[in-house]
């Protein structure tokens, strides 16, 4: 529950520091005194976005700090999921800097607004007047049924399975779109692949073919060059081989005289062997060189095929063509793979849908089982609130399609008086009736939920007298389950609180300032008397105030 709220440099508040207790806390004050500022400040702590307009002094930062006692609410796992440090007395701080930047802290550790917003769902329900319209919302109506049926755990299981189901549906849709796209390209890809396979390409082949083609294209020149080279190497009188042989003999004789020439001799010997080997290869090349127009044509055709494929696929090497060939092979084989994947996912989706249907049916059964009790409880609670003949009927309709909350649609029907037919709540209930119905609903949920705190912002608008007294009693009873705050203008409601704060506004020559003060018993009598009789407090009003407080 909320145990402390500190506000500095926010709107009309210079500084305020307030401690709160459990049960029912009352907040009163004249219209415009600043009661809504407290709610706005608390909303900032719980993740509402802010701007520089909230700064009372634009040169100083605004600090809002709220302390919550969480010992009895089992929120450790929730904090862990948000990667926040859990403390039994948790402090949330929000700072708005003069630059416009905002900072948030949980137990002095920096955090995000998103985390604050997540925390707000388990810490406080701030009910403002316009939120009464939530009763018209089908999703909210179904949530109320689920809380009354204690479907929290079952609903989480369903929603987890629902997310899996939607993900599988999305994956299946993408696979089928991919399948359609591949099918459209299949014939063309198969043609391109067959064209490359027919070419029977091999890495490094192009360079070898081009070399052979150049030789056969210039066979006469190559033969002439080889003959001349052979003559220069092997001529009996002047050939390189003959001359080098003579050199080798001379060096051999020198090496025999002195070891100093052995190294030179060995080098000449190696050169002679190399020249002899070259001469043999030249002779072999001459013997193998044959003009072959047919082979030349084959080489030319093969090279032209390679060049055409390279041009077609915008590449310059056979290695790149082979890479494209592999990609086309995967695409052509991919259709069969996708077919298998689709079948597997469809089978998985059938299993998931079956499990989801089972959970949805359990939700429907548990919801149906509590409808009569929920209708009766609401009717009984609003009967003393000036609606003795009001009746509720909640229709739960099974649907074919899954939604985030199951396979149900819900209609809340209402009849305010005897003999009146049931109609949709949003069409048959007045504004004052809706406020009383909402209070009854919140009262029922208070006994079912583990929410620490509810704040009612003038939920009693439009009622008075005995009805206001009964609404005050309902809020007082709710305080036995949780911490309740009631911002009110009604003395009957104000008298029910365990503690009572008054928000006041005063002016000086420089500015307007709002303050919040915890009232003593005497001050409380005076405040309620003023609410009864106005600015001129009569003795009768004072006596009436004492009676209300007693």
Residues 6+ apart with CB under 8 A from 275: 233, 240, 241, 244
402/164 Cα distance (integer angstroms): 12
437 within some domain: no
Residue 248 domain flag = yes
Domain identity same for 111 and 222: no
What tokens does 430 get? 């007045």
Q: How far apart are CA 174 and CA 481, in angstroms?
A: 50
Domain co-membership, 34 together with 83: yes
Cβ-based neighbour number of residue 171 at 10 Å: 15
pLDDT at 221 (0 to 100): 79
CATH code of the domain covering residue 85: 3.40.50.300
Q: Which alpha helices (H) appear in 258-317, and where do they start and end?
A: 262-288, 293-312
The answer to whether residues 503 and 538 belong to one domain is no
The answer to whether residue 391 is domain-embedded is no
Q: What whole-number distance in Å separates Cα of residue 178 and Cα of residue 457?
A: 54
Q: How is residue 404 annotated by DSSP? A: T
Q: Contact 416/151 with Cβ under 8 angstroms?
A: no
Q: What is the DSSP letter of 23?
A: S
Among 287, 310, 336, residue at a domain's last position: 336
Same-domain pairing of 185 and 299: yes
Q: State the SS3 of 331-351.
A: HHHHHHHHHHHHHHHHHHHHH
81 and 109 housed in the same domain: yes
- Whether 192 and 73 map to the same domain: the answer is no
107/229 same-domain check: no
pTM reported for the whole predicted model: 0.67
Output the pLDDT for position 292.
Answer: 64
Nearest 5°: CA angle at 250, between 249 and 251?
Answer: 90
Q: Is residue 396 within 8 Å of residue 408, measured between CB atoms? A: yes
Give yes or no: residues 23 and 94 share one domain: yes
Residue 211 to residues 268, 310, 320, Cα–Cα distance (Å): 33, 18, 20
Q: At what angle do helices 240-257 and 262-288 cross, to 10 degrees?
A: 160
Residue 243, both tokens: 């001359």
Task: Kindly write down the DSSP assignment for every residue of 76-108, as one continuous string.
Answer: HHHHHHTT----SEEEEEEEE-TTS-EEEEETT
pLDDT, position 290:
66
Q: Is residue 222 part of a domain?
A: yes
| Same domain? 487 vs 531 | no
* Region at 200 (left for phi over 0; alpha for psi -120 to 50; beta for the rest): left
Cα–Cα dist 495/64, whole Å = 29
- Rg over alpha carbons for the chain, rounded to the nearest Å, is 46
Domain that holds residue 210: 179-336
Angle of CA points 431, 437, 442, to nearest 5°: 125
The predicted-structure confidence for 98-117, as pLDDT tens digits, reads as follows: 988 899 999 999 999 999 99
- The answer as to whether 401 is a domain residue is no
Query: At 400, is the secondary structure helix, strand, or coil?
Result: strand
Judge whether 94 lies within some domain.
yes
The confidence score (pLDDT) of residue 15 equals 92
Query: Does residue 380 contact residue 203 with C-beta atoms inside 8 Å?
Result: no
Query: Phi and psi (nearest 5°) for 87?
Result: -135, 145
Question: Does 470 share its domain with 512?
Answer: yes
On whether residue 149 sits in a domain, the answer given is no
Residue 325 lies in a domain: yes
Q: How far apart are CA 444 and CA 89, in angstroms?
A: 28
Identify the bridge partners of residue 27 per DSSP, sorted by sequence position. Answer: 487, 501
Last residue of a domain, one of 275, 303, 336: 336
| pLDDT of the chain, 550 residues: tens digit per residue | 999 999 999 988 999 999 999 899 999 988 877 888 888 899 999 998 887 788 888 889 999 999 999 988 889 999 999 999 999 999 999 999 998 889 999 999 999 999 999 999 889 988 887 777 788 888 889 988 999 999 989 999 999 999 999 999 999 999 988 888 777 777 777 788 888 888 888 888 878 887 777 766 667 677 778 778 888 887 777 788 888 888 888 888 888 888 888 888 899 889 888 988 888 888 887 777 666 677 777 777 888 888 888 888 888 888 898 898 888 887 777 666 788 889 999 999 999 999 999 999 999 999 999 999 999 999 998 888 888 888 889 999 999 999 999 999 999 999 988 888 899 988 888 878 888 888 888 888 877 877 899 999 888 877 888 888 999 999 999 988 889 999 999 999 999 999 999 999 888 877 888 999 999 999 999 999 999 988 888 899 999 999 999 8
Same domain, 16 and 105: yes
Distance from C-alpha of 82 to C-alpha of 103, rounded to nearest angstrom: 17
Residues 190 and 325 in one domain: yes
**Could you give the CA distance from residue 451 to residue 338 in angstroms, rounded to a whole number?**
49
Counted domains in the chain: 3
> In the listed set 307, 336, 365, which residue is the last one of a domain according to the structure?
336
pLDDT of amino acid 334: 62
């Amino acid at each position: 529950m909320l145990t402390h709220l500190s506000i500095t440099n926010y709107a009309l508040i210079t500084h305020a520091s307030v401690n709160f207790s459990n049960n029912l806390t009352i907040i009163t004050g004249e219209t415009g005194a600043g009661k809504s500022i407290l709610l706005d400040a608390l909303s900032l702590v719980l993740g509402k976005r802010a701007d520089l307009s909230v700064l009372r002094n634009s040169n100083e930062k605004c600090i809002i700090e709220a302390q919550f006692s969480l010992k009895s609410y089992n929120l450790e796992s929730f904090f862990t999921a948000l990667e926040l440090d859990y403390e039994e007395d948790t402090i949330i701080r929000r700072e708005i800097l003069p630059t416009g930047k905002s900072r948030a802290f949980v137990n002095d550790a920096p955090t995000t607004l998103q985390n604050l917003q997540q925390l707000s769902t388990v810490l406080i329900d701030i009910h403002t007047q316009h939120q009464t319209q939530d009763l018209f919302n089908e999703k909210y109506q179904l949530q109320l049924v689920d809380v009354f049926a204690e479907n929290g755990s079952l609903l989480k299981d369903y929603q987890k399975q629902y997310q899996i189901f939607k993900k599988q549906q999305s994956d299946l849709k993408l696979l089928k779109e991919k399948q359609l796209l591949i099918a459209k390209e299949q014939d063309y890809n198969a043609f391109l692949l067959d064209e490359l396979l027919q070419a029977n390409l091999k890495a490094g082949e192009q360079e070898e073919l081009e070399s052979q083609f150049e030789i056969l294209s210039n066979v006469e020149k190559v033969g002439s060059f080889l003959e001349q080279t052979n003559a220069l190497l092997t001529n009996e009188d002047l050939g390189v081989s003959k001359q080098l042989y003579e050199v080798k003999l001379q060096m051999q004789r020198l090496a025999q005289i002195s070891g100093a020439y052995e190294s030179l001799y060995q080098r000449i010997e190696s050169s002679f062997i190399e020249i002899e080997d070259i001469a043999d290869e030249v002779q072999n090349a001459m013997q193998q060189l044959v003009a072959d127009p047919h082979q030349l044509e084959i080489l030319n055709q093969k090279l032209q095929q390679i060049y055409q494929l390279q041009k077609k696929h915008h590449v310059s090497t056979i290695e790149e063509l082979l890479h494209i060939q592999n990609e086309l092979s995967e695409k052509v084989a991919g259709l069969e793979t996708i077919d298998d994947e689709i079948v597997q996912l469809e089978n998985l989706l059938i299993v998931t849908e079956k499990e989801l249907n089972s959970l949805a049916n359990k939700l429907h059964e548990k919801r149906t089982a509590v409808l009569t009790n929920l209708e009766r409880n609401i009717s009984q609670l609003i009967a003393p609130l000036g609606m003795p003949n009001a009746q509720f009927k909640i229709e739960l309709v099974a649907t074919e399609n899954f939604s985030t909350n199951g396979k149900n649609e819900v209609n809340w029907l209402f009849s305010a008086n005897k003999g009146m037919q049931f109609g949709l709540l949003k069409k048959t209930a007045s504004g004052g009736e809706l406020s009383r119905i909402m209070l009854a609903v919140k009262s029922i949920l208070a006994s079912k939920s583990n929410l620490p705190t509810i704040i009612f912002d003038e939920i009693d608008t439009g009622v008075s007298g005995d009805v206001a007294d009964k609404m005050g009693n309902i809020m007082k009873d709710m305080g036995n389950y949780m911490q309740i705050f009631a911002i009110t203008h009604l003395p009957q409601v104000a008298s029910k609180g365990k503690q009572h704060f008054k928000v006041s506004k005063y002016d000086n020559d420089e500015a307007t300032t709002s303050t919040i003060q915890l009232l003593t018993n005497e001050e409380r009598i005076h405040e309620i008397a003023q609410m009864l009789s106005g600015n001129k407090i009569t003795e009768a009003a004072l006596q009436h105030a004492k009676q209300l407080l007693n």
